[in-house]
Structure 1
Amino acid sequence: MEKTIYNLVRNTICWDVGEYFVKALIEEMPNEEIIKLAREEIKRIQYFVRIEEDGWDYWKNKEQKLIELIIKLQK
């Protein structure tokens, strides 16, 4: 889950910043904000999830990881 959160936050930053900056930013973020980022990412990948061929599961796995992250953070 940590890697998923890291990638979500890192992808929202326009500048090239270091790993420690991103991790510090994550520590300051409330769960609600991370959940919002995950939901936005799910919306962006929905098309790829629908058209992904049988036997391929990159986008479906990514969607599942984001859903699991949301469920975990809502508790």
Structure 2
Amino acid sequence: MRDFLPEHVLPADAFSATQMRILDGVRRGLLNKQIAYELGISEHTVKYHLSGIFRKTGCHSRAQLLSLPLAR
């Protein structure tokens, strides 16, 4: 497993458009169910994309995701 590096800036293009929208929902403190409703996708799909986000970033929690600086 990769180490979590909060000082590392991830390029925004490292994520798909859907992953970026899900990250936005996480930043706004929304639950998976709320994110799914806003995006018109299933809660399972949100969880699937969150797994990919966690894998790409090396994060293990939403709190760690919130501390990541993302290039815009």
Give the TM-score normalised by structure 2.
0.32
Which of structures 1 and 2 has the bigger CA Rg? 1
Structure with the higher helix share, 1 or 2: 1
More contact order relative to length (CA 8 Å, sep ≥ 6): 2
